[in-house]
Amino acid sequence: MEIEKLAVVSGLAFDKNGDKYVVTSEIVDVKGGRDSKTSTKLITSEGTSIFDATRKNIKVAGKKLYIGHAEIIIFSKEVAEEGIVPVLDWVSRDSETRYTLSFLVSKEKTAKEILKQQPMTSDVLCFELSDMLKAEKNLSYASNVEQWQFINDLADMGVSAALPTVDLTTDDNKLTPEITGTGVFKKDKLIGFLNGEETKTMMFIKDKIKGGLLLKKEYKDSSTTNISLEIFSNKTNLKPRLSNGKITMDIYTNTDVDIGENGGKVNYIEEPARTKLKKDFEEMLENNIKSLVKKVQEQYDSDIFGFGKTIKLNMPRLWKQVEPKWEQLFKNIDVEVHSTINIKDSALQAKSIKVGD
């Protein structure tokens, strides 16, 4: 297959139109010559199944669509809520699709709208979405889930899957896609969403934090201070415990941080202030984790944290007994959180900016 006869697809979007599936592909179109320009086109086609729809692209496009370099697949809300397995089967079975594809769920009405927008910093929208997902490790508002990870989570008994969500936001009167938050799945259906902050807490529990900020506002002497801690690394240990027939999960988090921003007069490097700061943040983190677990247990009842998997790893005999009833049991798990925050240093300045006269 000669290389110039291929149309390179950078991303796909799956929608549903009544009974039919609609597949939109973003094709990278490179103009040759001295100054090569990269531009993208959208090709849409309908079919009774996903494979059918992708094949029907031939009706419209002259070149063969080559999916070997695609990086993003966006599912619409509707498709995800109906059950994602019918849509996912072709993606996993086809030999050309990479198993490192990233999945997104669109919070807008359709997934195609996302692909219609102009990218901000690069020429191809889907490559830009993929870059955004990879850079999320510095913000931790969404977690990058690749195809192999998603399919493993769907298959595992003790974990429910979760996918990052994308929506459109207005920036300077232009609509542009924004990746933030998570979509929560139960079995293979989408049941709800978490916002950015909640996703960060979820990543704390799942031990997926690689960067990000912890924020606090302090009100003191009629002035507000913003204190931001920059996370360098984090290690979370989940330990299940059986006491009086009740399962309790101990969550130990150990975070290394840096004082990134200190907008007030108090010097947090000196001893009494530093210990107080540490305690404050630890408490905040523990509360966040507890409230998120409660929310997920009550509202969604889906084990996205992997508690079941942890019990399977640490207490296999208990897991054998508990497994058939896990769905009802998840609601009643208690959580005890012990967070440790280690303040390593404070970047370039020890004291905050002095204000003279």
Partner 1 sequence: MFEKNQYGKIAGKETEKVNKKQRLKKSLNENIDTIKAFFPNDDTVVFREIENSHSSFHACLIYIDGMVNVDILSENIIHPIMNSNLKAQGNDRDMLDMLKNKVIYANHIKKLGIVDEILLALMNGDAIILIENSDEALQIYCKGWQTRDLTEPNMEKVLRGPKEGFTESIMVNLSLIRRRLKTPDLKFKFREVGVRAKTSICICYIESLASDEILQELESRLDRIDMDGIMGSSYIEELISDCPLSPYKTIGNTERPDVVAAKLLEGRFAIVVDGTPSTLTLPYVYMEYFQVAEDYYDNYFYSSINRILRCLGEFFTTSIPAIYVALITYHQEMIPTPLLLSIIAARQNVPFPTVVEALILLFTFEVIREASLRMPTPMGQSVSIVGALILGQAAIEARLFSAPMVIIVAATGITGLLILKLKGASIIVRLALLLLSAFMGLYGYVFGIMGAFIYLFSMRSFGVPYMLEYGSINPTDLKDTVIRAPWWYMNLRPKQIAAKNVIRQKVYKVKVK
Residues at the interface with partner 1 (CB under 8 A): 1-4, 6, 8, 28, 30-33, 36, 38, 66, 68-69, 96, 98, 127
The minimum distance between CB 240 and partner 1, in angstroms, equals 42
Minimum CB separation of residue 129 from partner 1 in Å reads 14
* Residue number, 2 or 172, with CB nearest to partner 1: 2
Cβ neighbours of residue 74 closer than 8 Å, sequence gap 6 or more: 11, 12, 13, 14, 103, 104, 105, 106, 111, 114, 115, 166
Q: Which residue has the tokens 């029907």?
A: 56
Residue 122 or 291: the one with the smaller Cβ distance to partner 1 is: 122
How far apart are alpha carbons 301 and 177 in whole angstroms? 29
> CB 30 → partner 1: shortest distance, Å?
4
| Pairing state between β 213-220 and 189-194 | unpaired
CB closer to partner 1, 92 vs 248:
92
Compare residues 7 and 229 and give the one whose CB is closer to partner 1.
7
For the CB of residue 36, give the shortest distance to partner 1 in the complex, in Å.
4
| Cβ atoms 40, 10 nearer than 8 A | yes
Q: How far is the CB of 127 from partner 1 (least distance, A)?
A: 7
Q: Which two tokens stand for residue 156?
A: 């595992």
For partner 1, give the closer residue by CB, 131 or 250: 131
> 29 or 171: whose CB is closer to partner 1?
29
Closer CB to partner 1, residue 90 or residue 127?
Answer: 127
- Contact between 334 and 189 under an 8 Å Cβ cutoff? The reply is no
- Number of residues that this document lists for the chain: 357
Full DSSP string of 276-300:
HHHHHHHHHHHHHHHHHHHHIIIII
- d(CA 269, CA 90) in angstroms, rounded, equals 56
Residue 232: C-alpha distances to residues 63, 210, 229, 324 (Å): 47, 7, 9, 39
* Minimum separation from the CB atom of position 123 to partner 1 (A): 9
Instruction: Report the nearest approach of partner 1 to the CB of residue 43 (Å).
Output: 17
What is each CA distance from 132 to 161, 177, 287, in whole angstroms? 21, 10, 29
Work out how close the CB of 71 gets to partner 1 at its nearest, in angstroms, rounded to a whole number.
8
Indicate the SS3 state at residue 151: helix
Q: State which residue, 33 or 245, has the beta carbon closest to partner 1.
A: 33
Amino acid at 334: D
Under 8 Å between Cβ of 117 and 125: yes
